[in-house]
Chains A and B, each alone.
Chain A
């Protein structure tokens, strides 16, 4: 019973971390993509390039 709880907590934690990783990567890419589409490139730290 206890191990089961532990497992589900762990898998919950993993899925949350994975989800945030996906979302962060996606929006980071979106910022770069949409800005550069407008001719406004960004540095990797998102500050304006050039």
Chain B
């Protein structure tokens, strides 16, 4: 993100200060990462031991610590999951599921937003410290300002959701409280911690702005993120417990400690997936704010500022979005490993149709992101060199998009087959199966990265002596990677067996990743000390800003959709295989019903976000004092 701005060059900090910076970064990364690594490490060791049963026999310290407490109480017997009958669910006249659906989704939208914003705000603030460019600091502060109300809104929806769940699903919530017990209190404590760090971080921004105090401020931001992330992973464990319960026996009686209950097979895949998706989502939402401000003013200085802010937001959103399919792949693979039946319910059964909608949404996101990058090239004078390529990228994107939305091979019921006129579409059949889609998706990602790379190059001229060689290598990597992706998809997908077909999709993903990584490394080396061409912030067509509205709308809808799929793969279970759902809403609704629900939550979210932005702008508006003594 070290774009050249028409601003003054940063002063080079002294070696001592640089060391301090590095130390601080190393420490904070360590803090952030260590939790994850530890979780991953512990889970691998436990996984390799559990099947032999050593963990239990040796008397794991945690069990020993917790078991006596429970044994001392009256409830010495492990309690199985309740089996409520339909009459045990309160009937309030409207669908309980719809109420919980709306509240949960709104809570999740805002939670995602307020978790993501402090994360990249901290990054931008750090960037400001590094470059000494105050505009980063100001922008980071502005991001914080516009999302501040979001924290309260998150809490309000969270509270309403909990209330609704306790009232509408009392047996289920009773069981969840029984299983998670004191963990919920830990959650509450972290909630208070987060509030504390949030307010000190935000209101202390200008008080702790320079020198050593800035490091205090950055540390506050780090703690804010740490508590926020902890809250997220704690809450994720509830969702993953419902999908793939662990730490309980076949009838749902608790047999493990809280750690065993939390670290189910899907916990870390969900943690990673949500973490990345939150960043993309947060970036997209604040991008819409910048776009709105850009369109509402004619002042060139303000337009330049909001253009830059919009660009940065889009950069964050797209950059976080690119690795998301891979995290999704991991999650899906873990779901299959946990229960093949659950995996097929999601990908091949009734829910599979939703992945066509997903393709439309992701296609929208990629096209909008690319369009914004292309339009943004008009900011620089050096972009003419690359403009010829845009039309080819556009063609690739559109063709791949169409292949992608070609209906899947599905496990069809008789009624579905009659609707489609056969289990395969008679003309598009060969394009509708997974290998073709894998090729399409990977090529779309490669094309998007190409757009991104061209945009980044458009204001620079390489001065290193090996630049022609570097360019040749980059071209070669693109060409060979694209050929490889197509070859893998066609050869293994259509001419070998299923196992190789599935295996080859991993290589396709690896090829895409190689392009991205090689592109970043090569460009970093090649454009060291590059000559920069002038770029003009604010010189971008108005219509490009609509891409910045399309992104958050598509992201919001996509989150609503995938959240619905994630929750629905449990089918008629509250807690999969352990606690059955006997409520009147225990069926999977039609796609159109789900679509309506998702649209309702998206629109509600949109309105809440508007409110949030409006409140943020109030603070910088001051009513003119009425003229004293004038005729009233």
**A22: which B residues are within 8 A, CB to CB?**
473, 476
Q: Mark B489-505, 1 if CB is under 8 A from A, else 0.
A: 00110001101100110
Pairwise interchain contact B514-A31, C-beta atoms closer than 8 A? no
**B472: which A residues are within 8 A, CB to CB?**
12, 15-16, 18-19
Pairwise interchain contact A23-B477, C-beta atoms closer than 8 A? yes
Of the residues B476, B479, B484, B497, contact of A31 by C-beta under 8 Å: B484
Of the residues B480, B488, B491, B507, contact of A23 by C-beta under 8 Å: B480
Cα A1 to Cα B490 in complex, Å, equals 48
**A15: which B residues are within 8 A, CB to CB?**
468-469, 472-473
Pairwise interchain contact A35-B507, C-beta atoms closer than 8 A? yes
**A47: which B residues are within 8 A, CB to CB?**
496
Pairwise interchain contact B514-A30, C-beta atoms closer than 8 A? yes
Known: A34-B506, A34-B507, A35-B507. A20 touches B499 (CB 8 A): no
Cα A19 to Cα B518 in complex, Å, equals 13
Cα A16 to Cα B429 in complex, Å, equals 39
Closest to A40 in B: B503
**A20: which B residues are within 8 A, CB to CB?**
476, 479-480
**B480: which A residues are within 8 A, CB to CB?**
20, 23-24, 26-27
Q: Mark A20-49, 1 if CB is under 8 A from B, else 0.
A: 101110110011001100101000001110
Chain A binding surface, main DSSP class: helix
Known: A27-B511, A46-B491, A48-B497. A19 touches B506 (CB 8 A): no
B167 to chain A, nearest CB (A): 49
State whether the Cβ of B475 lies closer than 8 Å to any Cβ in chain A: yes
State whether the Cβ of B63 lies closer than 8 Å to any Cβ in chain A: no
State whether the Cβ of B510 lies closer than 8 Å to any Cβ in chain A: yes
**A27: which B residues are within 8 A, CB to CB?**
480-481, 484, 511, 514
Pairwise interchain contact A30-B499, C-beta atoms closer than 8 A? no
Pairwise interchain contact A19-B475, C-beta atoms closer than 8 A? yes
Known: A15-B468, A24-B480, A40-B499. A31 touches B507 (CB 8 A): yes
Pairwise interchain contact B511-A19, C-beta atoms closer than 8 A? no
Pairwise interchain contact A30-B511, C-beta atoms closer than 8 A? yes
Cα A40 to Cα B497 in complex, Å, equals 11
Closest to A31 in B: B507
Q: Chain A CB within 10 Å — which of B475, B484, B497 has the most?
A: B484
Closest to B477 in A: A23
Cα A19 to Cα B484 in complex, Å, equals 16
Cα A18 to Cα B470 in complex, Å, equals 11
B197 to chain A, nearest CB (A): 42
Q: Mark B609-624, 1 if CB is under 8 A from A, else 0.
A: 0000000000000000
Known: A12-B468, A34-B510, A48-B497. A23 touches B476 (CB 8 A): yes
**A34: which B residues are within 8 A, CB to CB?**
503, 506-507, 510
Pairwise interchain contact B500-A40, C-beta atoms closer than 8 A? yes
Known: A15-B472, A35-B503. A23 touches B511 (CB 8 A): no
B380 to chain A, nearest CB (A): 26
**B511: which A residues are within 8 A, CB to CB?**
27, 30
**B499: which A residues are within 8 A, CB to CB?**
40
Pairwise interchain contact B503-A23, C-beta atoms closer than 8 A? no
Pairwise interchain contact B479-A23, C-beta atoms closer than 8 A? yes
Pairwise interchain contact A30-B510, C-beta atoms closer than 8 A? yes
Cα A21 to Cα B473 in complex, Å, equals 10
**A26: which B residues are within 8 A, CB to CB?**
480, 514
Cα A7 to Cα B475 in complex, Å, equals 21
Q: List 19 A-B contacts (CB under 8 A).
A: A15-B469, A18-B469, A18-B472, A19-B469, A20-B476, A22-B476, A23-B476, A24-B476, A24-B480, A27-B511, A30-B484, A30-B507, A30-B514, A35-B500, A40-B500, A46-B491, A48-B492, A48-B496, A48-B497
Nearest first, the 3 A-B pairs at minimum CB distance are A19-B476, A23-B476, A23-B480
Add 19 more A-B contacts to A15-B473, A24-B480 (CB < 8 A): A11-B468, A12-B472, A15-B468, A15-B472, A18-B472, A19-B473, A20-B476, A22-B476, A23-B477, A23-B479, A23-B480, A26-B514, A27-B481, A27-B514, A31-B484, A31-B507, A34-B503, A35-B507, A46-B491
